[in-house]
């Protein structure tokens, strides 16, 4: 199939293509013909998304265009045919930025499984990729689904009643527990295999770190020249995104997904944003990332290793990959590579072995990587079981709510709740209750909580209420929450006694009456919380909250 044709095939990747919503299964290809019954602009943090509900008479399926407030021609009452990979979001099937074709002459679809509407005739694809203008920079978006497929919309070809969208490129990630496990070499080996099979493969950016083995694997592969940028008096090299888009290969290798681009080197701050634009242009991308850079895991890694993790990748981006392959290495083997000079220059080896590359650190990082990959594999297993035994309900019905405030350490509680939700395949709701008599709201802390919520793929809710506990329990009941996660109380015993008890205790009592489990998470206090700060008027050392009140 060309980039601009909807498939007429009966199978995709060895599995049957669903032609009706009732037959759709998560992670499988669908080609659905129906009528747009509803449209809505939904907000995902700082980015919009245009959602169209496609009804084919057997059920409804959502078409979600991430980063868009509208899509020309897609409106209520319009008949269209959409193709893409279906994903489960809650109780609904969703296709992110699919191929689609409008056909105003097609009548609304009716009937059921025994009387499917025939697909409209596919107009010929008259354009090639070279005729498409380069895509505009996509907005930074967030998504509440664990898997996201972003696509690049082509310009209308001028034919009445027709508008077509190019599908996104395929996305493969090599995941490692730490530097030096062999992710880049595995990526380059995959590139060689694909080139031998006739695929057009180029290196967008590969970082060899001066390692002879890595440099040897680069030899013989086409490399897109890098862009040189002068920053603070030094000449630095970054991937030339526009050059890769202009070259438009079938497959592009882009190393170090979590990398922060040098200021002034391009239109994106992060390399993962560059990767999204390549995928939007229909280019397959193979990349690498270490487990500590995932947003939901980064704070746990910081506590384990005592090393800050400054470069982070949203979980939803990693989970949207078509394939994630773990490049594994035992801690002992990794330390031997370090001693032999195969990872860092000799001058850095002693410090690395006694700090980040300690055996206990590497063991913990490896465990985190294995657990993350096991979560992904478990989802595939659930899909297999649902196909093999459709009469059995395999998927969990757990729903987790985490109650947040602007208190220090709350972002760590959200990440902990995210890991809990991932392990049991539960939806995660992040809820912040604003009392109507609140004197002060820390907007900066709220913005950070929203950013973390977006990055881990959870749903943000803000509730205005006079009674915090009642609002949390009411939300939990309304959304059928089965588990509540809340941070431990920061109030002294005296303040709890005069104030009617802590919110944590009251939530626990009310939740027990509603048959909802409660998890109380210890807060990780920073140094300022432990030592206290100087009161701005008295000079005495007090807690940060008291100091903020005095200011």
Report yes or no on 546 lying in a domain.
no
Under the banding of pLDDT at 50, 70 and 90, the label for residue 79 is very high
pLDDT higher than threshold 70 for residue 70 = yes
Q: Do 448 and 371 fall within a single domain? A: no
Residue 269, Cα to own-chain centre: how many angstroms?
Answer: 17
pLDDT higher than threshold 70 for residue 445 = yes
CATH of the domain at 465: 3.40.50.620
Q: Do 376 and 411 fall within a single domain? A: no
Under the banding of pLDDT at 50, 70 and 90, the label for residue 161 is very low
Q: Do 362 and 407 fall within a single domain? A: no
Q: Do 443 and 341 fall within a single domain? A: no
* Count of domains forming the chain: 3
pLDDT higher than threshold 90 for residue 546 = no
Please state which of the ranges 123-132, 269-278, 368-377, 542-551 shows the lowest mean pLDDT. Answer: 123-132
Q: Rounded to an integer, what distance in angstroms lies between the CA atom of residue 2 and that of residue 99?
A: 12
Would you say the C-alpha torsion 412, 414, 415, 417 has a positive or negative sign? positive
Encoded tokens for 504: 């944590």
Q: Do 376 and 406 fall within a single domain? A: no
Under the banding of pLDDT at 50, 70 and 90, the label for residue 357 is very high
Report yes or no on 275 lying in a domain.
yes
Q: Which residue has the higher pLDDT, 437 or 390?
A: 437
Please identify which residue in the block is written with the tokens 């330390």.
335
pTM of the model: 0.56
Q: Do 180 and 280 fall within a single domain? A: yes
Q: Rounded to an integer, what distance in angstroms lies between the CA atom of residue 23 and that of residue 16?
A: 10
Please identify which residue in the block is written with the tokens 């959304």.
479
Domain that holds residue 432: 399-529
Encoded tokens for 494: 């005296």
Report yes or no on 444 lying in a domain.
yes
Q: Rounded to an integer, what distance in angstroms lies between the CA atom of residue 119 and that of residue 389?
A: 30
DSSP code of 238? E
Residues 6+ apart with CB under 8 A from 271: 205, 239, 254, 256, 257, 258, 259, 260, 261
Backbone angles phi, psi at 90, to 5 degrees: 65, -125
Please identify which residue in the block is written with the tokens 């907007």.
443
pLDDT over 90 for what percent of the chain? Answer: 40
Report yes or no on 103 lying in a domain.
yes
435-to-416, 465, 471, 491 alpha-carbon distances in Å: 25, 5, 10, 18
Q: Do 371 and 407 fall within a single domain? A: no
Residue 282, classed as helix, strand or coil, is coil
Backbone angles phi, psi at 497, to 5 degrees: -65, -45
Report yes or no on 422 lying in a domain.
yes
The residue among 124, 142, 160 that closes a domain is 142
Report yes or no on 537 lying in a domain.
no
Under the banding of pLDDT at 50, 70 and 90, the label for residue 10 is confident
Report yes or no on 30 lying in a domain.
yes
Q: Do 404 and 517 fall within a single domain? A: yes
pLDDT higher than threshold 80 for residue 252 = yes
Report yes or no on 76 lying in a domain.
yes
CATH of the domain at 22: 2.40.50.140
CATH of the domain at 376: 3.40.50.300
Residue among 234, 154, 169, 167 at smallest CA distance from 201: 169
Mean pLDDT over 243-269 rounds to 94
The residue among 380, 407, 435 that closes a domain is 380
Q: Do 183 and 297 fall within a single domain? A: yes
The residue among 349, 380, 411 that closes a domain is 380
Q: Do 376 and 333 fall within a single domain? A: yes
Q: Rounded to an integer, what distance in angstroms lies between the CA atom of residue 375 and that of residue 398?
A: 15
Q: Rounded to an integer, what distance in angstroms lies between the CA atom of residue 318 and that of residue 316?
A: 6
Element (H, E) at 507: helix 503-513
The pLDDT value recorded for residue 55 is 93
Mean pLDDT over 98-102 rounds to 81
Backbone angles phi, psi at 47, to 5 degrees: -120, 145
Q: Are strands 459-465 and 11-12 parallel, antiparallel or unpaired?
A: unpaired
81-to-16, 247, 473 alpha-carbon distances in Å: 18, 31, 43
Q: Across the chain, how many H-helices and E-strands are there?
A: 16, 26
Q: Do 351 and 412 fall within a single domain? A: no
Q: Do 217 and 115 fall within a single domain? A: no
Which region, left, alpha or beta, applies to residue 464 given φ > 0 means left and ψ of -120 to 50 means alpha? beta
pLDDT higher than threshold 60 for residue 531 = no
Mean pLDDT over 373-378 rounds to 68
């Amino acid at each position: 199939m060309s980039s601009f044709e909807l498939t007429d095939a009966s199978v995709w990747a060895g599995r049957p293509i669903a032609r009706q919503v009732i037959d759709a299964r998560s992670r499988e290809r669908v080609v659905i013909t129906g009528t747009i019954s509803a449209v809505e602009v939904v907000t995902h943090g700082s980015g919009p998304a245009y959602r169209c509900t496609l009804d084919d008479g057997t059920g409804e399926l959502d078409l979600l265009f991430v980063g868009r407030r509208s899509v020309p021609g897609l409106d209520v009452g319009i008949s269209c045919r959409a193709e893409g990979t279906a994903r489960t979001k809650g109780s609904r099937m969703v296709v992110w930025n699919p191929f689609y074709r409008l056909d105003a002459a097609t009548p609304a679809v009716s009937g059921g499984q025994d009387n499917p509407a025939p697909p409209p005739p596919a107009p010929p694809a008259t354009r090639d990729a070279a005729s498409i203008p380069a895509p505009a920079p996509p907005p930074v978006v967030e998504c509440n689904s664990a898997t996201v497929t972003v696509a690049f919309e082509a310009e209308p070809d001028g034919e009445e009643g027709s508008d077509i969208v190019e599908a996104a490129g395929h996305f493969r990630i090599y995941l490692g527990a730490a530097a030096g496990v062999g992710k880049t070499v595995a990526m380059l080996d995959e590139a060689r295999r694909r080139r031998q099979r006739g695929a057009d493969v180029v290196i967008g950016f590969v970082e060899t770190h001066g390692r002879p083995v890595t440099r040897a694997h680069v030899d013989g592969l086409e490399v897109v020249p890098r862009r040189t940028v002068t920053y603070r008096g030094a000449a630095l090299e970054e991937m030339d995104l526009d050059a890769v888009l202009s070259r438009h290969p079938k497959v592009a290798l882009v190393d170090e997904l979590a990398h922060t681009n040098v200021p002034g080197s391009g239109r994106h701050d992060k390399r993962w944003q560059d990767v999204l634009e390549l995928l939007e242009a229909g280019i397959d991308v193979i990349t690498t990332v270490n487990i500590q850079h995932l947003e939901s895991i980064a704070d746990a890694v910081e506590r384990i290793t005592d090393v800050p993790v400054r470069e982070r990748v949203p979980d939803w981006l990693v989970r949207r990959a078509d394939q994630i392959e773990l490049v594994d290495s035992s801690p002992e083997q990794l330390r031997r590579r370090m001693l032999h000079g195969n990872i860092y220059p000799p001058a850095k080896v002693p410090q690395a072995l006694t700090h980040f590359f300690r055996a206990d650190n590497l063991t913990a990082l490896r465990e985190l990587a294995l657990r993350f990959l096991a979560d992904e594999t478990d989802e595939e297993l659930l899909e297999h079981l649902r196909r093999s035994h459709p009469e059995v309900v395999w998927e969990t019905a757990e729903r987790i709510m985490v109650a947040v405030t602007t208190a220090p350490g709350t972002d760590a509680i959200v990440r902990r709740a995210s890991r809990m939700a991932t392990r049991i395949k539960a939806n995660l709701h992040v809820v912040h209750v604003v009392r109507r008599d609140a004197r002060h709201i820390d907007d900066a802390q709220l913005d950070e909580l929203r950013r973390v919520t977006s990055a881990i793929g959870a749903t943000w809710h803000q509730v205005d209420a006079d009674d915090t506990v009642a609002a949390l329990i009411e939300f939990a009941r309304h959304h059928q929450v089965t588990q509540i996660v809340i941070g431990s109380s920061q109030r002294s015993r005296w303040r709890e006694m005069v104030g009617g008890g802590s919110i944590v205790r009251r939530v626990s009592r009310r939740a027990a009456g509603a048959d909802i489990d409660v998890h109380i998470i210890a807060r990780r206090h920073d140094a300022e919380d432990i030592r206290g700060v100087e009161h701005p008027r008295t000079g005495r050392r007090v807690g940060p909250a008291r100091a903020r009140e005095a200011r």
